[in-house]
Amino acid sequence: MDFRPVVNAPSLMDARIFCVAPMGLRDQLVRLPFSARFVYDAAKNTLFLNCERFEVKTLETVKAVEEKVRSICEPLGQRVHAIVNYEGFVLDRDVEDAWAESVSGIVQCWYLNVTRFTTSAFLRAKLGDALVTRSVAPHVFETEQEARAHLDALKLAHPA
């Protein structure tokens, strides 16, 4: 080298780099903690559910979402408005019906109004069809702004 390298406080490389097994980087980089996916805004009486890159592969996950929504809404003593982000959402076929039934129950029990959004046309159609067959309004929009605008219109039309 034509220069002397500067090395300040070197640290060990991640041992996973040298293993044959997958490093689990996807989980580390994109996984949002489960409880952080649910945010209630009391001033707007609105529950925000962030299902972005959320994977529902088991009945346990379906039940966990139901329980989390219940644990937020039940103590409020009132129904809430909701916005759900389904961007990059993954729903295994084995639990599609259970998920749709769960969503239907959540809507009936805890929500005044709900809108959903995802840029995936396939997922919008899939969710919309599953909700319609369960008599749930299939408000699934392409953008968050569209979903928020629709929810605001619903709030004006039907104040709590």
Q: How many CB atoms lie within 10 A of CB 14?
A: 10
Which backbone phi and psi does 8 adopt, to 5 degrees? Answer: -110, 125
DSSP character at residue 58: S
Average confidence score pLDDT of the chain: 87
Higher pLDDT, 150 or 110: 110
Q: Among candidates 8, 3, 82, which has minimal Cα distance to 38?
A: 82
| Cβ 143 vs Cβ 159: under 8 Å | no
* pLDDT value of position 26: 67
Q: What is the C-alpha to C-alpha distance for residues 109 and 7, in angstroms, rounded to an integer? A: 60
Name residues whose C-beta falls within 8 Å of residue 148's C-beta, 6 or more positions apart in sequence.
83, 115
Rounded mean pLDDT, 25-37: 78
46 pLDDT band, cuts 50/70/90, is very high
Counting every residue written for the chain, the total comes to 160
Structure tokens at 72: 């937020």
Q: What's the rounded Cα separation, in Å, for the pair 150 and 139?
A: 8
Domains in the chain, ordered, with CATH?
37-157 (3.30.750.24)
pLDDT digits (tens, 9 = 90+) for 81-115: 999 999 989 999 999 999 999 999 999 999 999 99
Distance between alpha carbon 25 and the CA centroid of its chain, in Å? 20
Q: Is the pLDDT of residue 71 over 70?
A: yes
| Residue whose C-alpha is closest to residue 139's, from 84, 57, 68 | 84
Confidence at 25, pLDDT banded by 50, 70, 90: confident
